[in-house]
Amino acid sequence: MIKRMFWGMLILSILVFFVWDVGIAFQDNGQEKVVLELKLPKPLFVGTPKNIRSPNLERITGKKRGPFYVPPGTEMLSLNKPVTGSDTAPVIGELEFVTDGEKSGEEGYFVELGPMVQWVQIDLEDTYSLSAILIWHYHSQARVYRDVIVQVSEDPDFITDVKTIFNNDHDNSAGLGIGKDKEYIETNDGRLIDPRGVKARYMRFFSRGNTSNEMNHYVEVEVYGTPANE
Protein backbone atom coordinates (compact mmCIF):
# COMPACT_ATOMS: atom_id res chain seq x y z
CA MET A 1 0.00 0.00 0.00
CA ILE A 2 2.75 2.40 1.00
CA LYS A 3 4.73 1.35 -2.05
CA ARG A 4 1.74 2.12 -4.32
CA MET A 5 1.22 5.48 -2.65
CA PHE A 6 4.91 6.31 -3.14
CA TRP A 7 4.79 5.46 -6.84
CA GLY A 8 1.51 7.32 -7.22
CA MET A 9 2.92 10.48 -5.60
CA LEU A 10 6.05 10.27 -7.71
CA ILE A 11 4.12 9.97 -10.97
CA LEU A 12 1.79 12.78 -9.90
CA SER A 13 4.74 15.03 -9.03
CA ILE A 14 6.36 14.36 -12.38
CA LEU A 15 3.08 15.15 -14.16
CA VAL A 16 2.59 18.40 -12.22
CA PHE A 17 6.16 19.42 -12.93
CA PHE A 18 5.71 18.61 -16.61
CA VAL A 19 2.48 20.57 -16.94
CA TRP A 20 3.99 23.50 -15.04
CA ASP A 21 7.09 23.59 -17.23
CA VAL A 22 5.10 23.31 -20.45
CA GLY A 23 2.87 26.13 -19.25
CA ILE A 24 5.81 28.41 -18.57
CA ALA A 25 7.42 27.51 -21.88
CA PHE A 26 4.17 28.23 -23.69
CA GLN A 27 3.83 31.50 -21.88
CA ASP A 28 7.38 32.49 -22.95
CA ASN A 29 6.90 31.46 -26.54
CA GLY A 30 3.33 32.55 -26.97
CA GLN A 31 3.80 36.20 -26.07
CA GLU A 32 6.21 38.88 -27.36
CA LYS A 33 8.93 40.00 -24.97
CA VAL A 34 8.57 43.48 -23.60
CA VAL A 35 11.29 45.95 -22.82
CA LEU A 36 11.77 46.45 -19.14
CA GLU A 37 11.03 50.11 -18.58
CA LEU A 38 13.64 51.62 -16.40
CA LYS A 39 12.88 54.51 -14.13
CA LEU A 40 16.02 56.57 -14.22
CA PRO A 41 16.71 59.35 -11.76
CA LYS A 42 17.28 62.88 -12.94
CA PRO A 43 20.56 64.65 -12.27
CA LEU A 44 20.75 66.77 -9.18
CA PHE A 45 21.68 70.40 -9.61
CA VAL A 46 24.16 71.44 -6.97
CA GLY A 47 25.07 74.92 -8.13
CA THR A 48 28.09 76.25 -9.94
CA PRO A 49 31.12 74.04 -9.35
CA LYS A 50 34.29 75.41 -7.83
CA ASN A 51 36.56 77.37 -10.13
CA ILE A 52 39.99 75.79 -10.23
CA ARG A 53 42.99 77.78 -11.34
CA SER A 54 45.67 76.73 -8.86
CA PRO A 55 48.47 74.87 -10.59
CA ASN A 56 49.20 72.66 -7.59
CA LEU A 57 46.02 71.01 -6.43
CA GLU A 58 45.78 67.64 -4.83
CA ARG A 59 46.68 65.10 -7.45
CA ILE A 60 44.86 61.91 -8.20
CA THR A 61 47.44 59.24 -7.48
CA GLY A 62 47.11 55.52 -7.43
CA LYS A 63 49.31 53.25 -5.40
CA LYS A 64 52.91 54.28 -4.91
CA ARG A 65 55.11 52.85 -7.60
CA GLY A 66 57.10 49.88 -6.36
CA PRO A 67 60.82 49.31 -6.94
CA PHE A 68 61.90 48.88 -10.53
CA TYR A 69 64.91 46.65 -11.23
CA VAL A 70 67.49 47.43 -13.93
CA PRO A 71 70.82 45.81 -14.95
CA PRO A 72 73.96 46.89 -13.09
CA GLY A 73 75.79 49.80 -14.70
CA THR A 74 72.57 51.45 -15.84
CA GLU A 75 72.91 55.20 -16.16
CA MET A 76 70.85 58.11 -17.34
CA LEU A 77 71.47 58.56 -21.05
CA SER A 78 69.18 61.39 -22.03
CA LEU A 79 70.46 64.35 -20.01
CA ASN A 80 71.16 67.29 -22.35
CA LYS A 81 70.98 65.07 -25.43
CA PRO A 82 69.73 66.71 -28.66
CA VAL A 83 65.97 66.97 -29.09
CA THR A 84 64.04 67.55 -32.29
CA GLY A 85 60.29 67.64 -32.79
CA SER A 86 57.38 67.77 -35.22
CA ASP A 87 56.61 71.32 -34.08
CA THR A 88 59.79 73.25 -34.78
CA ALA A 89 58.40 76.46 -33.27
CA PRO A 90 56.87 75.46 -29.92
CA VAL A 91 54.08 77.65 -28.58
CA ILE A 92 55.81 77.88 -25.18
CA GLY A 93 59.33 76.90 -24.15
CA GLU A 94 62.07 75.14 -26.10
CA LEU A 95 62.51 71.55 -27.23
CA GLU A 96 65.71 71.41 -25.14
CA PHE A 97 63.53 71.48 -22.01
CA VAL A 98 62.72 67.81 -22.67
CA THR A 99 66.20 66.69 -21.61
CA ASP A 100 67.43 69.59 -19.46
CA GLY A 101 67.03 67.74 -16.18
CA GLU A 102 64.38 70.18 -14.84
CA LYS A 103 61.25 68.30 -13.80
CA SER A 104 59.35 71.01 -11.96
CA GLY A 105 55.69 71.25 -12.86
CA GLU A 106 55.66 75.04 -12.65
CA GLU A 107 55.54 77.56 -15.45
CA GLY A 108 58.73 77.86 -17.45
CA TYR A 109 59.76 74.22 -17.27
CA PHE A 110 57.68 72.67 -20.00
CA VAL A 111 57.58 72.89 -23.76
CA GLU A 112 54.16 73.26 -25.42
CA LEU A 113 53.70 71.87 -28.92
CA GLY A 114 50.69 72.61 -31.12
CA PRO A 115 47.48 70.59 -31.43
CA MET A 116 46.93 67.26 -33.24
CA VAL A 117 49.54 64.47 -33.23
CA GLN A 118 52.96 65.83 -32.30
CA TRP A 119 56.26 64.18 -31.41
CA VAL A 120 59.62 64.90 -29.86
CA GLN A 121 62.69 62.85 -30.67
CA ILE A 122 65.78 62.28 -28.56
CA ASP A 123 69.09 61.32 -30.08
CA LEU A 124 71.11 59.35 -27.50
CA GLU A 125 74.18 59.80 -29.79
CA ASP A 126 75.01 56.11 -29.59
CA THR A 127 73.19 52.82 -29.45
CA TYR A 128 72.25 51.66 -25.97
CA SER A 129 70.44 48.79 -24.34
CA LEU A 130 67.49 50.59 -22.75
CA SER A 131 66.41 49.74 -19.20
CA ALA A 132 63.83 52.37 -18.26
CA ILE A 133 62.07 55.43 -19.64
CA LEU A 134 60.33 58.06 -17.53
CA ILE A 135 58.01 60.66 -19.10
CA TRP A 136 56.47 63.76 -17.53
CA HIS A 137 54.09 65.50 -19.89
CA TYR A 138 52.59 68.05 -17.48
CA HIS A 139 52.10 67.16 -13.87
CA SER A 140 50.74 70.27 -12.21
CA GLN A 141 47.16 69.37 -13.13
CA ALA A 142 45.24 66.11 -13.29
CA ARG A 143 45.27 65.36 -17.00
CA VAL A 144 45.39 62.45 -19.35
CA TYR A 145 47.45 62.79 -22.53
CA ARG A 146 45.97 61.02 -25.52
CA ASP A 147 47.72 58.58 -27.81
CA VAL A 148 50.96 58.35 -25.89
CA ILE A 149 53.23 56.27 -28.11
CA VAL A 150 56.94 55.59 -27.64
CA GLN A 151 58.96 54.22 -30.53
CA VAL A 152 62.66 53.47 -30.78
CA SER A 153 64.85 52.99 -33.82
CA GLU A 154 68.36 53.07 -35.21
CA ASP A 155 67.01 55.16 -38.07
CA PRO A 156 66.73 58.92 -37.29
CA ASP A 157 63.84 59.17 -39.77
CA PHE A 158 61.95 56.27 -38.20
CA ILE A 159 61.39 54.56 -41.54
CA THR A 160 63.15 51.26 -40.88
CA ASP A 161 63.68 49.13 -37.81
CA VAL A 162 60.99 50.90 -35.76
CA LYS A 163 59.94 49.24 -32.52
CA THR A 164 56.96 50.42 -30.50
CA ILE A 165 57.54 49.96 -26.80
CA PHE A 166 54.46 51.80 -25.47
CA ASN A 167 51.16 52.63 -27.14
CA ASN A 168 47.91 53.60 -25.43
CA ASP A 169 46.18 54.80 -28.60
CA HIS A 170 43.26 52.45 -28.08
CA ASP A 171 41.20 53.75 -31.02
CA ASN A 172 43.99 54.28 -33.57
CA SER A 173 43.30 57.99 -33.72
CA ALA A 174 47.02 58.71 -34.17
CA GLY A 175 47.13 56.29 -37.09
CA LEU A 176 50.11 54.30 -35.79
CA GLY A 177 48.10 51.22 -34.87
CA ILE A 178 45.96 50.24 -31.92
CA GLY A 179 47.82 50.06 -28.63
CA LYS A 180 47.02 47.86 -25.67
CA ASP A 181 48.58 50.03 -22.97
CA LYS A 182 46.29 51.96 -20.64
CA GLU A 183 45.72 55.69 -20.50
CA TYR A 184 46.97 57.26 -17.29
CA ILE A 185 46.61 60.41 -15.26
CA GLU A 186 49.70 62.58 -15.14
CA THR A 187 51.34 62.88 -11.74
CA ASN A 188 54.67 64.04 -10.45
CA ASP A 189 55.73 60.36 -10.40
CA GLY A 190 55.99 60.44 -14.19
CA ARG A 191 55.16 57.43 -16.35
CA LEU A 192 57.68 54.60 -16.10
CA ILE A 193 57.98 52.47 -19.22
CA ASP A 194 59.94 49.24 -19.33
CA PRO A 195 61.73 48.98 -22.71
CA ARG A 196 62.91 45.44 -21.81
CA GLY A 197 66.50 45.95 -22.94
CA VAL A 198 65.66 46.97 -26.51
CA LYS A 199 68.67 48.42 -28.32
CA ALA A 200 68.28 51.82 -29.98
CA ARG A 201 69.81 55.23 -30.52
CA TYR A 202 66.74 57.32 -31.37
CA MET A 203 63.51 57.60 -29.41
CA ARG A 204 60.31 59.23 -30.58
CA PHE A 205 57.50 60.22 -28.19
CA PHE A 206 54.05 60.89 -29.63
CA SER A 207 50.92 62.44 -28.12
CA ARG A 208 47.67 64.02 -29.36
CA GLY A 209 46.41 66.66 -26.94
CA ASN A 210 45.07 66.05 -23.49
CA THR A 211 41.90 66.16 -21.45
CA SER A 212 42.33 69.86 -20.57
CA ASN A 213 43.18 71.27 -23.98
CA GLU A 214 44.38 70.34 -27.45
CA MET A 215 48.03 71.08 -26.86
CA ASN A 216 50.94 68.68 -26.27
CA HIS A 217 53.40 69.19 -23.44
CA TYR A 218 56.67 67.77 -22.17
CA VAL A 219 58.31 68.65 -18.89
CA GLU A 220 61.02 66.00 -19.09
CA VAL A 221 61.94 62.63 -20.53
CA GLU A 222 64.55 60.45 -18.86
CA VAL A 223 66.05 57.46 -20.59
CA TYR A 224 68.16 54.92 -18.70
CA GLY A 225 70.28 52.10 -20.09
CA THR A 226 73.67 50.51 -20.59
CA PRO A 227 76.04 50.53 -23.58
CA ALA A 228 74.74 48.14 -26.24
CA ASN A 229 77.98 46.16 -26.49
CA GLU A 230 78.05 45.21 -22.80
Partner 1 sequence: MNKKPAFYGLFLLAVCAAILFRAVRLDLRPMHHDEANQAVKFGDLLERGEYRYDPIEHHGPTLYYFSLPFAWIGSGKSFAALDEVTLRLVPALLGVGIVLLLLLLKDGFSRSAIVFSGIFVAVSPLMVFYSRFYIQETLLVFFLLGAIAASWRYHVDRTWGWAAATGLFIGLMYATKETCFIAFGALFVGLLLARIFTKESIGEKPPISHAFILLGSAFLVAFLLFSSFFQNPKGIVDSVLSFQSYFGKAGEVGFHSYPWPYYLKMLTFSRYGNGPVWSEALILVLAIVGCVAAFYPRFQKDSSPLFMRFIFFFTLLATAVYSLIPYKTPWNMLPFFIGIILLAGNGAAFLFERCKYLVLRSAVTLILCAGIFHLGIQSHAANFRYYADSRNPYVYAHTSTDFLNLVQRVEDIARYHPDRKDMLIKVITHPDEAWPLPWYLRGFTRVGYWQEAEKAGALKDIPVVISSIDKTAELSQTHQGEFFGLRPEVLLNVHIRKDLWEKFLESRR
Distances in Å between the alpha carbon of 53 and those of 47, 50, 56, 57? 18, 10, 9, 9
Position 62 contacts partner 1 (CB under 8 A): no
Find the Cα–Cα–Cα–Cα dihedral 209, 212, 215, 218, rounded to 10°.
-90
**Is the distance from CB of 132 to CB of 195 less than 8 angstroms?**
yes
Name the pairing type of β-strands 199-207 and 216-218. unpaired
Position 172 contacts partner 1 (CB under 8 A): yes
Position 46 contacts partner 1 (CB under 8 A): yes
In 95-223, where does DSSP find H-type helix? none
DSSP notation for 97-114 = GGGSS----STTS-EEE-
Position 55 contacts partner 1 (CB under 8 A): yes
Residues in 105-124 at the binding interface with partner 1, rule: CB under 8 A: 107
Position 63 contacts partner 1 (CB under 8 A): no
SS3 state of residue 227: strand
Among 181, 183, 189, 194, binds partner 1 (CB under 8 A): 183
Q: Residue 75 or 107: which CB sits closer to partner 1? A: 107
Among 7, 213, 227, 230, binds partner 1 (CB under 8 A): 213
Position 143 contacts partner 1 (CB under 8 A): yes
Among 28, 29, 33, 45, binds partner 1 (CB under 8 A): 45
User: What's 95's DSSP letter?
Assistant: G
Position 226 contacts partner 1 (CB under 8 A): no
Which residues of this protein are in contact with partner 1, per CB under 8 A? 38, 40-53, 55, 57, 60, 92, 107, 141-144, 170-173, 178, 183, 185, 209-214
